[in-house]
Amino acid sequence: MGDELHHECGVAALYWLDTPVGRGGAAEALVRKGDVTPLMPTVLQDIQNRGQLAAGMTSFNPQRPQLIDTYKEIGTVAEAFRMNHSGKHRAILSEYAGKAAIGHVRYATCGQEDTSYAQPFERHHGRRWKWFSFAFNGNIANFAERKRALLRKQDYHIIRDGDTEIIMHALSYASRGDRRPNLVSMVRSLSDQFDGAYNIVFLNARGDMFVARDPLGFRPLSYAVEGRLFAAASESVALRNLGFTEVHDVEPGTMVVIEDGKLSIRRFAPSPCHAHCFFEWIYFANVASTMDGSSTYLCRARLGQRLAEREDQPTDSDDCVVVPVPDTAKAAADSMAYHLGVPSMEGLIRNRYVGRTFIEGAGGRLQKVRMKYTPIPAVLSGRRIFLVEDSLVRATTMRALVERLRQEGKAREIHVRIACPPIIAPCFYGIDMSTLGELFAPKYINGGYRGRLSDAVAAKMARDLGVDSLRYLTVDDLADCLQIDHDHLCTGCVTGKYPTRWGNRLLAKAREAARDGKAGRTYE
């Protein structure tokens, strides 16, 4: 995706079990003397696509006074864990060695960009079950309501203006009392309070762990267990790369619980319907991941095939070429080109060292967009370019790309093809596009969208982008290409219809804010 779209973070967990579960294998063999922490930076690097602002982990070690201890820093995983400095990296791993660990990579959909907002969040207490650390991935749609409810209680104070701290206080309240809490009941109490997306990894000073996925399953969450090694991560690719051969989805409304070194799968809330975020397959997830039984790569390839089936421009001349916007649109572009019988060529080269520009803060973002791509005139000059992008959110980058393709690449025609429907509404479940005013499509579609753009609207959008034509896929194409029932997808951002009460309430608030010219995230 060229647009500066922010992600919602990623989580991971590791545990060296007291009792083996099944046969051991390649993943288990990586662990030395029961210390799982050397694996955590590797796992986090495989979900680095989900956040580059900060990284951290909490480990449990019953042999040290600091039973659980947290390390976190601003930067990528390699930067935070000093992976390019072998001595400092080994020192971090040695200091935080343990039989269990949870980890997190962050982007700020809520809160500030400093170390205090980095996760995991650790809460100290003298009682071991009240001393815990957790990390979460998602966004609480009713965050503002839960914050007000908390502050109405006597002498409560919020340090950080983010939903992570609200979750921490809810976990603290659920673990109150003189007896060790039931972890399933603890998470059930959260599901009764929160509306939105939340995958949580939790570890306390007794060595108890849980990995939980919200009842609607907005965000992906995978787990695997091999011998004595348990692992969980936001994406399956991180577990496959550790050497696990059997990787499973954490089902919505369920949790993996580890107590007294033993593992069980428990349901904490009913899940009568699912609401998997379709954007995960289109853009966010690693192309090598499989989520809820559907391969990311094959989904993107089917989206490209559907673009080819819908193509209405002539493609039989020798000067036609399909060009992907690197990197997430490549599978769709290659598939579209294959089914059209047109060459797919990399007319845009991405600078691998700039990183995903949507991960960067506002300062310097436009300069980094210019640095991110280099057009190749030898591929583009004098040709009819079918420029394939996975989605079009704000269009700021697309306009800049089109200008460069014409001026520097000397492209004769540019036809933009989007492997996604128009984004007509905000997201309130963990993607940082929470206002109507920042979106490209709503100003053209003004409530009349029924799944397919009229030729007149598409032509006007194309003119404003500076391209010769613009085509999107439809909402119905999503379920077909992802091979997931439409009723099991969250399509709020392309339909304006959300799977939760607070999603629909926030859309009304976003529309009101747009009319009044108010800025700022809708859910804050």
Q: Phi first, then psi: what are they for 405, rounded to 5°?
A: -65, -35
Distances (CA, A) of 141 to 212, 428, 497, 500: 18, 6, 14, 9
Q: What is the C-alpha to C-alpha distance for residues 229 and 404, in angstroms, rounded to an integer?
A: 50
Cα torsion 176, 178, 181, 185: sign:
negative
- The DSSP secondary-structure symbol of 242 reads T
Which candidate in 9, 420, 481, 493 is catalytic?
9
- In whole angstroms, give the CA distance from residue 50 to residue 135: 14
Count CB neighbours of 74 within 10 A: 17
DSSP conformation letters of 105-174: EE--SSS-SSGGG-S-EEE--SSGGG-EEEEEEEEETTHHHHHHHHHTSTT---SSSSHHHHHHHHHHHH
Query: Whose structure tokens read 């971090």?
Result: 92
CA angle, 418 then 419 then 421, to 5°: 80
Give the Cα-Cα-Cα angle 299, 305, 307 (nearest 5 degrees): 105
State the amino acid at position 477 in one-letter form: D
> Before 120, cis peptide (omega within 30)?
yes
Active site residue 110: no
End-to-end CA separation in angstroms for the chain: 26
Q: Which of 19, 45, 15 is nearest to 27 (CA)?
A: 15
Query: What residues are labeled active site?
Result: 9
